Structure 1
Amino acid sequence: MKTIMLVFGTRPEAIKMAPLVKAFQEKKDDFKTIVCVTGQHREMLDQVLDLFGIKPDFDLNIMKQGQDLYDVTSRVLLGMRDVLKVCRPDYLFVHGDTTTSTAAALAAFYQQIPVCHVEAGLRTYDIYSPWPEEMNRLITGRIATYHFSPTLLSRVNLLKENVDGDRIVVTGNTVIDALHWVVGKIAVDAELGKRLAADLERDGYDVERLNGNRRLVLVTGHRRENFGGGFHNICRALKDLSQKYPEVDFVYPMHLNPNVRRPIHEVFGEDLTHLGNMFFIEPLEYLMFIFLMEKSFIVLTDSGGIQEEAPGLGKPVLVMRDTTERPEALDAGTVKLVGTDYNTIVGQVSHLLDDTEAYGEMSKAMNPYGDGKACGRIIDYISDKIATPQPE
């Protein structure tokens, strides 16, 4: 029996790793599954763990007020040193592009433990966009022994970097596995849907408003490269769009970072209540966010994962970034880049609200990120490597 350790620390990582944790746990005759969380996101991480019923074996709990990337990196690295002294897994799994992933991978490398990189091979080829994620994924990719790429393009990126093709497998993205799990959970439980609607109303938005012909634009924002002028432009665009389209609701669950909240208050004022069809609410737990996203008409975001999730629900995505490490979505037509330019944001949102044909083209485009069976492919690959060990 091989020991598998899965390490993650942010909410996006937890969402994408949770179905893989559950899948490994179902193979208890073949694998001993150990979960280590870093707590890079604390409250938001815990919400995902509760939703999927995952109890970590180790919790580094690194989150400190005012910490920077130096703090996060060093705390994860030192914390993982101690964990790996207690428990030496045969394989250590990390996800994507976070500081947790890179520092955990480095800690495993120092003890010569093979690293398995989930969501491997995404690239913008601009180390400062997204920052620090692009460099994180590059470093993690150099450390990793096995690479689980969500798409064929991600595999091609790794092959160009001279990664052994036998160590790369295209799986689809585990976020679609998680999305299917959550949507299915909501669909079969009418009481859960009612509770989510009531909780959301208490948090500041009543989905009953959408029972008529009203439409919803769901907004998220958190990227560091958009801090300052970028977020100020986004807020100006939202203010004018909400006035231009009084029959459309704009809902913005605000990230906790003060660099995100400051420009909101600068544009909309200190009191964010009673703004008509513009709703600023507190961050949503994953289950409630998916519930709201399923009811949305357009998603306006700078997130990476939402570029994969929303098309799975038939929602066009306008990405408030200048680059994306998910060009497959651009090619498929499920997303468009709008940057943080005021005129572009207003123009593209207006276009989708006004042009039925343009909206239909995006909403019906095929999601390039998989069929919800990524976790099974990952486990099959690792099982094959165990049966026929490869030289490290």
Structure 2
Amino acid sequence: MNRLRPLLIVGTRPEAIKMSPVIKECRDRPREIDAIVCSTGQHREMLQQVADYFEIKIDLDLGLMRPNQTLAGLTARCLTGLEDAINKYNPDCVVAQGDTTTVMAASLAAFYHRIPFVHVEAGLRTGDLQAPWPEEMNRRVAGIVADLHCAPTQRAADALLSEGTRPDIVQVSGNTVIDALLWTVARERNNAEQWEEKYAFLQDRRMVLITGHRRENFGGGFENICQAISTLAADFPETDFVYPVHLNPNVQAPVKSVLGALSNVHLVAPAPYPEFVWLMDRSSVILTDSGGVQEEAPSLKKPVLVMRDTTERPEAVESGAVELVGTSIEAITQGVSTLLSDAAEYSKRQIDDNPYGDGRAARRIVDGMLAMSWQSTQTLRRAG
């Protein structure tokens, strides 16, 4: 029997986290699958941390990251680099996850070579090309050319069907981030001593975990976010606010200017994935503009306030675990204050069943890949 040869592509740390369960599942089936893992290096150092943690071997690193790169420059290098990878390995299909520049370029490279494209975490939509920017455009492009859509939820699958996607190439798989999270949190709870020592300053106090990095929040949005955190730190002096600060200067400058001198606000370096999972598990409330955190936190029973006006993850909002507060100073301070002050409201936000999965998404995705006749599809496409 010919083994399936997928080219599994990652570029950023979140992609590596969400693709790691798929990569591990592929490599656990060596009789059926000859998996090739390619990194574009969009987040090179942070991605390597994840690869090391999940014991993932990168077969090809394109090393595309450049200082102060533009999206156009990154996209061009991704396309040409991935073309070289496809020519080198001659895969049966190309697999990528999410909505980054790497994913959009991977889908186009596969399309240009008439090779089937598998889109993991397919069907997320806000309906607004400007929010999140440029991710909404990236995932729509990937959706147009995909041959297998692995939707994390039924709502995501329905979005694809409403766009005219054939039902036979859409599967509801769950989200692989839950696979990764459940494996990681079990491991880090058994390895908590190192994190308890590193964060000894927290003692037994409540902690609000903060992340923020979205381009659409640069400028006035981040200034509002920082002012809100400053107000909350003053209103809740016995609560610690831990903020792993993204390295982008557009984030670093306002965060350090407004929050740098506050005694109960702790600005720390971006945390490796296992450390960040421990911080989520240790927190009381999470304040974020991240997409992945909206999916992960409900499994840990942590209420999330999202500093965005729209979300492509409405299931979490509908479940009650997540609330959109945008970048309004008043909405952020009111939302966090309620969760820190009202035990009944806090309890309502702790849900039992995460709408994003049960930890078996990777198995379903790889089963779906094996069920498709990629080799024959590839032959037909190249002939056409």
Displacement of 1:181? 1.0
Residues 328 and 175 of structure 1: is their aligned pair in 2 closer, same or farther, counting only changes over 3 Å?
same
Look up the match of 2:180.
Answer: 178
Measured after TM superposition, the shift of residue 15 of structure 1 is: 0.3
Q: Could you tell me which residue of structure 2 aligns to residue 315 of structure 1? A: 302
| Structure 1 unaligned spans of 5+ | none
CA offsets per residue over residues 67-87 of structure 1, 9 Å max, x none?
A: 010111011101011111111
Within the alignment, does 1:82 sit opposite 2:84 as a pair?
yes
| Structure 1 residues 120-143: Cα deviation after superposition (integer angstroms, max 9, x where no partner) | 000000000000000000000001
Q: Is the 8 A contact 1:334 1:366 kept in 2?
A: no
* Residue identity opposite 2:358 in structure 1: D
State the Cα deviation string for residues 323-352 of structure 1 (Å, max 9, x = none). Answer: 000011111111000000000000010011
Residue 144 of structure 2 corresponds to residue 142 of structure 1: yes
Structure 1 Cα separation of the partners of residues 203 and 353 of structure 2: 26
Change (3 A) 1:355 1:389: farther
CA contact (8 A) 1:333 1:365 kept: no
Matched, 1:283 2:232: no
Unaligned runs of 5+ in 2: none
1:1-392 equivalences under 5 Å are: 1-187=3-189, 189=190, 192-198=191-197, 201=198, 205-206=199-200, 209-211=202-204, 214-268=205-259, 272=260, 275-364=262-351, 366-386=353-373
| 2:116 and 2:374 in contact (8 A); partners too | no
What do the CA deviations read for 1:216-240 (whole angstroms, capped 9, x no partner)?
1000000000000000000001011
User: Which whole-Å CA distance do the structure 2 matches of 1:196 and 1:52 have between them?
Assistant: 19
CA deviation map 1:334-375 (0-9, x unaligned): 100000000000001001111111100002353210100001
| Counterpart amino acid of residue 154 in structure 1 | A
Cα shift at 1:386? 3.8
Q: State how far apart, in whole Å, the 1-side matches of 2:196 and 2:279 are.
A: 9
Amino acid at match of 2:219: G
TM-score norm. by structure 1 comes to 0.94
Distance in 2 between residues matched to 1:265 and 1:387, nearest whole Å: 51
Percent pairwise identity = 50
Measured against aligned partners, the alpha-carbon deviations of 1:66-114 in whole angstroms (never above 9, x if no partner) come to: 1010111011101011111111110110111000000011111111110
Structure-1 separation of matches of 2:203 and 2:156: 38
Higher alpha-carbon deviation: 314-323 or 356-365: 356-365
Q: Distance in 1 between matches of 2:256 and 2:339?
A: 27
Which stretches of structure 1, 4 residues or longer, exceed 4 Å deviation after superposition? 387-392
Does the CA-based 8 Å contact 1:150-1:369 persist in structure 2?
Answer: yes
Return the offset for 1:389: 6.5
> Secondary structure in 1 aligned to 2:129?
coil
SS at match of 1:31: coil
Aligned positions, number: 377
CA distance in 1, matches of 2:254, 2:323: 24
In structure 1, the residue corresponding to 2:35 is in which secondary structure? strand
CA contact (8 A) 1:334 1:365 kept: no
For residues 6 and 369 of structure 2, what CA distance do their matches in structure 1 show?
Answer: 10
1:312 Cα deviation from its structure 2 partner: 0.9
SS in structure 2 of the partner of residue 6 of structure 1: strand
Mean alpha-carbon deviation: is it higher for 290-299 or for 365-374? Answer: 365-374
